[in-house]
Amino acid sequence: MTSILVVDDSAVDRRLVGELLERKFECSVQYAVNGVEAMARLKDLSPDLVVTDLTMPEMNGLELVSSVRKHFPEIPVILMTAYGTETLSIEALEKGAASYVPKSRLADKLPDTAKEVLTLAKADRCHAKLITCLDETRFVFTLDNDPALVDPLVDLVQQMVSGMGLVDFAGRLQVGVAVKEAVLNAIFHGNLEITKEQVQEVEHELIQEGDLSLVERRAAEEPYRHRRVYVEIDLTPSEARFLIRDDGNGFDLSQVPDLNEPGALEPVGRRGLSLIQTFMDEVLYNEKGNEVRLVKRAMQGVRT
């Protein structure tokens, strides 16, 4: 049975979260009142998942995320908070959280998020031993402008970088986020030239049965319909390299956010570009702005 450790200094919130998880899927739930107690219990409990509040005495949620990643990297952590911002969510992911759920949306988001994280943590174990034997591998893809292709590509990337021992579980998620953002940018903003403003204009429209989405309409039109996304992936035990290029007109490189500037990680900024810069060790665009090279170096002590 799946084992989950819920960490919260509020007895009421602990019980609410535990009962919510137990109602939604089969699991046993244990509890800790703060990060210090959670760390003390982790070795004996060996839970499949930790769900923690952000604001707690002695050791807060972000500190717990960092400590779990350091000492128990195989155990994923989901962070809950009542005061959520994009900056905070990205900081949580940076420190190693598997995901982030606002407390205002626990009922509809937490169970599904927990299932997704647990599924990812257990995925492809039958291939894990074989993948660890790989010395290097290379993939070259030519993708249509079909967003449905992105998640399978990201799943493959995450499986390989994790199996080869390049990253821990949290690093696997970070690489997946960065690659997904880069490929989606190549499809939407590169090849199809769909702006943020155009997305906002149609996101509240009702789509009738048989209607095509904005992406489908644009993908069928000239000059967009023949454009492709090219993805090259080179993996070795020391680093992962990704080249992602589109057939679009490129973009103004001055739009790439400076992560030291206030608001770079907020919705008003270029959030996708910020995520790529945050989670990758190297990010290099060509002059035209239709190609990006990403590098993720191996974490020390991950490969065994």
Claim to verify: residue 162 and residue 89 sit in the same structural domain: no
Amino acid of residue 175: V
DSSP state of 188: I
Q: Is the pLDDT of residue 259 over 70?
A: no
Of 122, 140, 167, which one is at a domain's C-terminal end?
122
Phi, psi dihedrals of residue 114, rounded to the nearest 5°: -60, -45
> Where are any strands of DSSP class E within 54-133?
77-81, 99-102
Confidence of residue 11 (pLDDT cuts 50, 70, 90): very high
How many domains does the chain fold into? 2
Claim to verify: residue 64 and residue 173 sit in the same structural domain: no
Claim to verify: residue 19 and residue 38 sit in the same structural domain: yes
Task: Say if residues 155 and 172 touch (Cβ distance below 8 Å).
Answer: no
CA atoms within 13 A on the CB side of 3: 10
Claim to verify: residue 43 and residue 132 sit in the same structural domain: no
Claim to verify: residue 117 and residue 148 sit in the same structural domain: no
CATH number of the domain where residue 229 is located: 3.30.565.10
Confidence of residue 304 (pLDDT cuts 50, 70, 90): very low
CA atoms within 13 A on the CB side of 145: 27
Domain assignment present for 302: no
Of 64, 93, 122, which one is at a domain's C-terminal end?
122
Q: How far is it, in rounded angstroms, from Cα 169 to Cα 48?
A: 12
Domain assignment present for 72: yes
Structural domain of residue 223, as residue ranges?
127-297
Q: Is the pLDDT of residue 166 over 50?
A: yes
Q: What is the pLDDT of residue 269?
A: 44
Claim to verify: residue 109 and residue 173 sit in the same structural domain: no
Claim to verify: residue 151 and residue 289 sit in the same structural domain: yes
CATH number of the domain where residue 47 is located: 3.40.50.2300
Q: What is the pLDDT of residues 197-236, one digit of tens each?
A: 776 665 555 544 555 678 888 999 999 999 999 999 999 9
Of 239, 98, 72, which is closest to residue 165 (Cα–Cα)?
Answer: 239
Q: Is the pLDDT of residue 243 over 90?
A: yes
Terminal-to-terminal C-alpha distance of the chain: 28
Q: What is the pLDDT of residue 263?
A: 53
Q: What is the pLDDT of residues 99-117, one digit of tens each?
A: 888 888 888 889 988 988 8
Q: How far is it, in rounded angstroms, from Cα 191 to Cα 26?
A: 44
